[in-house]
Amino acid sequence: MEALRFIFRLSFALLVMVLHNKHHQANGALHSHTQLLVDEANNDGPYLGLVIPNLFEMNPLLQSPSFVSSNFYIDAYGRRFRFGTIGDKKVILVMTGLSMINAAITTQLLLGLFSIEGVVHYGIAGNANPSLNIGDVTIPKYWAHTALWNWQRYGQGPENELALESNGDYTRTVGYIKFANYTTNITGGSSFDNSLNNVWYQPEEVFPIDGTPEDREHAFWVPVDSNYFSISKKLEGLKLEACLNATTCLSDAPKVARVERGTSASIYLDNAAYRSFIYGKFNVSPVDMESASVALICYQQKVPFITIRALSDLAGGGSAHSNEADTFINLAANNSVTVVVAFIEQLSVSEALVASPPYISKMA
Ligand SMILES: *[C@@H]1O[C@H](CO)[C@@H](O)[C@H](O)[C@H]1NC(C)=O
Ligand SMILES: *[C@@H]1O[C@H](CO)[C@@H](O)[C@H](O)[C@H]1NC(C)=O
Ligand SMILES: *[C@@H]1O[C@H](CO)[C@@H](O)[C@H](O)[C@H]1NC(C)=O
Ligand SMILES: *[C@@H]1O[C@H](CO)[C@@H](O)[C@H](O)[C@H]1NC(C)=O
């Protein structure tokens, strides 16, 4: 009933939208007609926001029978916000485009324009964890952005203060990578160095919505929502697709794996040495190009979020001559969608339980 009413209202709004679709915002402000549609949509909120990096990750959800499209969308600031339902949940889907800046802009727009109760981010990722396999779907507890760097001058080391460290701008607490450790093909002599020296990982400057504007805080490991994370435990054991086609299947049946950590950077990682370093240093499983960005926005806006990332390749750690994503990208994208849908169903179940606990309905 509720869902029907919702679809009806959105169909009306769709009509309005079709009539006014020619209007685009200018000078940074939303066109008044777009604002009207946003207001109309928000009357039916709140929504669960599904933030999706690329088309090949969004398409399997658009095609999934679990997603009921309301055939309504709002275009704003170069993004398309698509409305529908998954089970009892009203959802807005939005594609960010590749990498950290796109993911941050799009997530901030979603949270700024719409009434959003929580964010589910999903997609594919590289796998840095040797105990996991391609096709597995990871749900990390923490995310960090690992490409805010302080690149130390040659000749200095861990005992030297970084530039602007005394201002509180940079820190040596997170750690560093030493390029000389990755020198190859040394002939003659056991001592070597590298003028690229050291790169120190830095926490992000953040400005939480409940903080003082312009008064920075810092964040490196950002936790996902603890309630969402505990709900995700119910997804362990979910059956996932193991076959690319009728003849080619993964050797290990893929599984849902709740893991400690994932990292993101605007870097496509296809390098065994860095993969091994980042696993050893940070104990990360998925490595991708958007999740930490979504995490940092939701963290600052105090909106619950979780990230679901299916492993499509070994981030450079495989024995093959080319990156495995070429082969497994669609299987991984499909598996991420399977887990997202199951998560949203479990979220509805757990909210229904909170709204009317079983012992209350027994008493009635
Ligand atoms: C560099 O390699 C040495 C020797 O293996 C190791 O002890 C050290 O932790 C490495 N340092 C970094 C920053 O990777
Ligand atoms: C390093 O040595 C390996 C094995 O001998 C060789 O295949 C490779 O081309 C060399 N790399 C460089 C940069 O010289
Ligand atoms: C199945 O996929 C594999 C890997 O991409 C490919 O080599 C093979 O030709 C495909 N088989 C069929 C029947 O399409
Ligand atoms: C992924 O799902 C789509 C339908 O959404 C299907 O057409 C495609 O065959 C699936 N691909 C794999 C590799 O499972």
CA dist., res. 128 & res. 105, Å (int): 27
Q: Are residues 72 and 215 in the same domain?
A: yes
CA dist., res. 181 & res. 220, Å (int): 24
pLDDT tens track for 320-340: 777 888 889 999 999 999 999
3 within some domain: no
Q: Are residues 53 and 177 in the same domain?
A: no
Q: Are residues 197 and 215 in the same domain?
A: no
Ligand 1 atom with the shortest distance to the CA of 281: 14
Strand 222-223 and strand 137-145: the pairing is antiparallel
Across 26-33, average pLDDT: 82
Q: Indicate the residue among 163, 178, 202 that finishes a domain.
A: 202
Q: Which structural domain, as residue segments, surrounds residue 160?
A: 149-202
Ligand 4 atom with the shortest distance to the CA of 63: 5
189 within some domain: yes
* Dihedral, 225, 228, 233, 235 alpha carbons, nearest 10: -130
Q: Are residues 274 and 347 in the same domain?
A: yes
185 within some domain: yes
Give the residue whose CA is nearest to atom 6 of ligand 2. 185
Instruction: Determine the pLDDT at residue 17.
Output: 52
119 within some domain: yes
Q: How far is the CA of 26 from the centre of ligand 2 (A)?
A: 55
Res 313 pLDDT > 50:
yes
CA dist., res. 93 & res. 345, Å (int): 16
Which residue has better confidence, 126 or 357? 126
Ligand 3 atom with the shortest distance to the CA of 246: 13
Domain of 241: which CATH number? 3.40.50.1580
233 within some domain: yes
Q: Are residues 196 and 211 in the same domain?
A: no
Q: How far is the CA of 311 from the centre of ligand 1 (A)?
A: 28
Q: Are residues 137 and 156 in the same domain?
A: no
248 within some domain: yes
Ligand 4 atom with the shortest distance to the CA of 59: 5
Ligand 3 neighbourhood includes 327 CB (under 6 angstroms): yes
Nearest-ligand number for the alpha carbon of 246: 3
Question: Which range among 94-98, 192-196, 311-315 has the greatest average pLDDT?
Answer: 94-98
Instruction: Determine the pLDDT at residue 363.
Output: 47
Across 268-288, average pLDDT: 97
CA dist., res. 312 & res. 124, Å (int): 6
169 within some domain: yes
Give the residue whose CA is nearest to atom 1 of ligand 4. 334
| 48 neighbors 116 (Cβ within 8 angstroms) | yes
Instruction: Determine the pLDDT at residue 335.
Output: 98
Ligand 3 neighbourhood includes 330 CB (under 6 angstroms): no
Ligand 4 neighbourhood includes 60 CB (under 6 angstroms): yes
User: What's the pTM value of the predicted model, to 2 decimals?
Assistant: 0.90
| 58 neighbors 93 (Cβ within 8 angstroms) | yes
Residue 116 has, within 13 A of its CA and on its CB side, a CA count of: 26
Q: Are residues 271 and 327 in the same domain?
A: yes
Which residue reads 């229904």 in tokens? 352
CA dist., res. 57 & res. 323, Å (int): 18
Q: Are residues 121 and 245 in the same domain?
A: yes
Ligand 3 neighbourhood includes 249 CB (under 6 angstroms): no
User: How far does Cα 280 stand from its chain's mean position?
Assistant: 22
The residues pairing with 264 across neighbouring beta strands, listed in sequence order, are 145, 288
Res 148 pLDDT > 80:
yes
pLDDT tens track for 2-20: 555 565 566 555 554 544 4
Q: Are residues 220 and 314 in the same domain?
A: yes
Q: Are residues 229 and 298 in the same domain?
A: yes
Q: How far is the CA of 315 from the centre of ligand 2 (A)?
A: 21
Structural domains in the chain (count): 2
Q: Are residues 314 and 250 in the same domain?
A: yes
84 within some domain: yes
Res 176 pLDDT > 50:
yes
Give the residue whose CA is nearest to atom 3 of ligand 3. 248
